[in-house]
Structure 1
């Protein structure tokens, strides 16, 4: 060491790669510090080919003999490697970093050192120096200072300023702490983000922000042209940002503050990706989505941040994840299969069902903003429908203020309020394409009964009826809600989706309006519930134990008056004891106690195992692990002229890879599906035959 025998208080690490033409200005700014020159050292770490940097250092030593300046060389290039070497070589009690194309204000080191204390990391402002202009422009109004400046002169928790951890410099850290982590040299950018997070994760610290009156600042050189070229690269703006997110996600974190900081840093990286996606097309966004899947980051990346501002289409789904509801799950799958980024309006179903957060994963890649409206939920009740429509349209108007009108609106009804809001939007934005999907008939319930709840007078009803009247369809003011919701879609939607042909024919049979029926046939499509891609069946591995020595069957779903497992229980009871021992029927349902009692009464304890519902993605995983899956039709004989239902579980089972046993009503849509096993509803003898075949095939 060239100056005295006392160890310095501060080490300044300056990594340089071919920096002969710029490092001189950096070192001169350090030589002009107001801090006593004996109190700090500068360690220059050269990590590139020979370019004259040693000669520049020699000149600086001659110009500023009091500057404690030394240098080391790292054989492999890389800013991370150079910084690691500098940290290892540091003699100071505290340490800071300065890049070779940046500089610092004269008071920076003294001001930072004045605020050191146990558990404290002093922090200064960061000024951007635009070097493309003549003369250079120093700009303090940047995203860093806008967050840091509000805390000037204060000491605050590190998690309150995560932005300061996303930049390598302008901080003074204890050298002992700095050595507890290393810069990841495999990262091509963003290694400073991961490094500073690692330090915080090891010992969460406070930031002490230097008063602006000291003039202390780190001067960051900005070359506008260079930055814009780099930011226009997919590799830099997407791939390298995802690499940083992957590293952060891999860290084991237990401290709550570190969890919050990590989440904030990953969001910051995602914001950078979003900025690039805003400037490119949908093809690039889908490429990014695929890369996220390849890196296993589906549950890590915040898709609302990734997709912010990218939606030009709208989805209105009264029921939607995270609430447990079949209609909501199918709507999410429909959004995913459509592959278009949407903003979503839905209703809180807090009073109706439980939550399943895993359901969010279904469509998250295609959702930008999601507004979940509060208030009392209702199905065929006019007041809740009115509230949903009013609040929903207000929310849409707010979004439109920055995005403009939407190109399309998709709505799905078992819950009719979805179509009422979509119809109102279509009426007021006639250029928007409306896609209306019916999960089931609205006017007839599962037992063939008529849903008679009626609309109530008011401005909303007046506007809807007037729009229909303009198309030549007249309805009475006291029209049933169920009739109005169907006719609105028939008369105004640009595309109508039915899940099967029987459903469409049944709904048109009772319409009684030939002209409107003709329009429906012209604009409608048949589209079954979408099946998710194979990787969804592995996203939430279940720890539910299955005995590999027996044949495992499963049934997922609720029991209704029109749909149960009576013939299955009877068929299992009729099996020999030897065959019963080879069989396990696992049922996942809303009220397992009732089935458990039925199994006990039938002497089938241990053969039929009743369980509560499991989250949707876990159910998919379980379905893929079973030998066979049971699906059954609703019994509609004497209630409907034809069975209009195709159980939504069919689409889930179809992607599982497991065999399916369909218990069907003759002539139903399900009866026409290619299931390996099939029997008729209520036919216990046929069910027993299928059980014997399943045991034989799988044992």
Structure 2
């Protein structure tokens, strides 16, 4: 290129703040470029108090008169202000940034310029120069180059190298594109991440990675001591990282590639937070979680990344979100209530259930690593249980390789495989505390029948039976799965959780082992299903239309042989036409077609409205909008000695603020709850009276 070129091809923007002691080396590296000096200009943007930097610039001009060097001074302090001013002042067709304590290799500008093309941003290697050492050490093996170097000499999609958007330098961008965004001067750090995302969001570009053989590299100055001090600050390591995530989250993405890049950049900021949290205690992590919630970033922060490596406790929940399953939902609420980060082992329920992504939000703040095991699910079937236990223990051992044994393991049945894996872990790690929760009796089904599916011979069964024998409990090799799972928890768990007193009483009544019963009573607690905090009821606002001029009553749930709405439908039929006009019964169930038939046969179209299930968080929101919510006991008379069940919906309804109509079996746990409306199972006349009261109270 000729020295006579009046308009430079490239502008190098160098922001400086009190840089007199270091900017000279930066400018000398630019003066020694292999690119024709007339082809580029250097714009130094001075901000901050006078410190002799102009005199340094004058000295560089005398040393290198061929260098096109000019400076501007701005009153605002901050790298963002300085970079914005430099971009506005740039005369070059292309633009790059160099910080005043960094430098560039002699071939960098020429090598970058050789790669310019429409829709392409040339990208160089980035070397770390450790200035704390004498002499300085240049290190190319860093996290940036490990990602960039694999693409050397290639042109790749911008979204395939999102790491390159996470730092300000080493790139050559068209000045016209650079001016479509500004550095966010309200950010105290990370403004470069947001700026480069904004450029990519406006015009997704390709990266042309300069061939490493050219020697082109940006030399980034690293002061190990200052970085360590900076990283030790909660403000820098957490608050400022969340501010960057907040800015990224506020952007309306224009292209799928931009959405992917934004996600990666937010994860990168979260990784930095995680690195700090690994060095700090649980109180600091909870402070960060509170701040995430205050900023409204729950949907943008990847909690598995935030909590990676932080869990020293384990949860084994065969059913777990995002699969729709009552036991899984309760397990997530238990984890949330406990407030301790756990690694989770669960089973894919693809063949059993639907997915509900919102379910992940229940316990996400307290989930570290989560392994969802593949394979066909099964309840009281030995082969799926054996497969889950084997694969689950292998996964846990992998985690233990980096963090050691877990302090505690929590497991929950209805699905017995959870307790089997937890029991095996307790056997092999006896110092670990095992907390075993029973949702329902395992040996008796809902109609009082004995679950008789048998265990199968093999190493797992041998190890479990041997451990029981060591405690003085002998079981036959062909023991029923349901008996074994109860006895394992009773014999080995440090804490046993029942969801209600009736359940505990019934399960211990048929145990028939006085010594073991005494151990269970000493170690057991009664703990009903947890109710979520109020903000969960507003996370997924429902657009379901309700008529404000009628009494809106809702039922959420499936129908079983022991639980249905027969007396309610009969009671609605017995209402006068006027009262029917003032009532809407909204039913959300997996079997809306079956209900539709019953409603049509009863002539109640428009009064009873059958709907498909709605996602869990939307159901919580709908519950707050209803005048009354129906909850009903399972029928157990003639099947069980007492009703051992407490519907988990009770905990959801309890937090809704809406009135509850409980349809109960005498003596059940639900019958003792304080609800505004109550009637007996099967009593259509009493149900009629409750409907009349609901209409009177709410219309």
TM-score, normalization by structure 1 = 0.98
The corresponding residue for 2:665 is 665
Output the CA distance in 2 between the equivalents of 1:477 and 1:32: 82
The corresponding residue for 1:251 is 251
Output the CA distance in 2 between the equivalents of 1:282 and 1:648: 30
Q: 2:368 aligns to what SS in structure 1?
A: strand
Q: 2:631 aligns to what SS in structure 1?
A: strand
1:621 pairs with 2:621? yes
Matches within 5 A, 1:437-586: 437-586=437-586
Output the CA distance in 1 between the equivalents of 2:442 and 2:612: 29
The corresponding residue for 1:118 is 118
Structure 1 residues 576-600: Cα deviation after superposition (integer angstroms, max 9, x where no partner):
2222111111110011011111111
The corresponding residue for 2:27 is 27
Q: 1:448 aligns to what SS in structure 2?
A: coil
1:348 pairs with 2:377? no
Structure 1 residues 563-614: Cα deviation after superposition (integer angstroms, max 9, x where no partner):
1111111111111222211111111001101111111121211111110001
The corresponding residue for 1:54 is 54
Contact 2:388 2:417 in 1 (8 A): yes
Contact 2:10 2:92 in 1 (8 A): yes
Output the CA distance in 2 between the equivalents of 1:574 and 1:461: 57
The corresponding residue for 2:235 is 235
Q: Give the CA deviation at 1:375.
A: 1.3
The corresponding residue for 1:409 is 409
Q: 1:370 aligns to what SS in structure 2?
A: strand
Aligned length: 697
Output the CA distance in 2 between the equivalents of 1:280 and 1:103: 35
Structure 1 residues 188-216: Cα deviation after superposition (integer angstroms, max 9, x where no partner):
11010011011111111111111112111
Q: Give the CA deviation at 1:514.
A: 0.4
* Structure 1 gaps, min length 5: none
Q: Give the CA deviation at 1:21.
A: 1.7
| Greater than 3 Å deviation, 4+ residue runs | none
The corresponding residue for 2:655 is 655
Structure 1 residues 166-195: Cα deviation after superposition (integer angstroms, max 9, x where no partner):
000000000011111111111111010011
Q: 1:511 aligns to what SS in structure 2?
A: coil
Output the CA distance in 1 between the equivalents of 2:57 and 2:499: 75
Output the CA distance in 1 between the equivalents of 2:254 and 2:606: 40
Output the CA distance in 1 between the equivalents of 2:684 and 2:153: 80
1:591 pairs with 2:578? no
Q: Give the CA deviation at 1:5.
A: 6.7
* Structure 2 gaps, min length 5: none
Contact 2:121 2:207 in 1 (8 A): yes
Output the CA distance in 1 between the equivalents of 2:336 and 2:420: 23
Say if 1:4 and 1:75 are closer, same or farther in 2 by CA, change over 3 A. Answer: farther
Q: Give the CA deviation at 1:4.
A: 6.3
Q: Give the CA deviation at 1:254.
A: 3.6
Contact 2:5 2:39 in 1 (8 A): no
Output the CA distance in 1 between the equivalents of 2:457 and 2:223: 64
Cα RMSD after superposing both structures = 1.1
The corresponding residue for 2:201 is 201
Q: Give the CA deviation at 1:696.
A: 1.8
Structure 1 residues 656-675: Cα deviation after superposition (integer angstroms, max 9, x where no partner):
11111111111111111111
The corresponding residue for 2:279 is 279
The corresponding residue for 1:393 is 393
Structure 1 residues 114-139: Cα deviation after superposition (integer angstroms, max 9, x where no partner):
11111111111111111111221111
Matches within 5 A, 1:48-197: 48-197=48-197
Q: Give the CA deviation at 1:537.
A: 0.8
Output the CA distance in 2 between the equivalents of 1:141 and 1:374: 37
Q: Give the CA deviation at 1:503.
A: 0.2
1:310 pairs with 2:310? yes
Output the CA distance in 1 between the equivalents of 2:586 and 2:477: 50
Output the CA distance in 1 between the equivalents of 2:169 and 2:690: 70
The corresponding residue for 2:690 is 690
The corresponding residue for 1:610 is 610
Q: 2:617 aligns to what SS in structure 1?
A: helix
1:296 pairs with 2:305? no
Structure 1 residues 373-426: Cα deviation after superposition (integer angstroms, max 9, x where no partner):
111211111111111111111111111111111111111000111111111111
Output the CA distance in 2 between the equivalents of 1:70 and 1:697: 79
TM-score, normalization by structure 2 = 0.98
Structure 1 residues 229-275: Cα deviation after superposition (integer angstroms, max 9, x where no partner):
11000010001111111111111114121111111111111100000
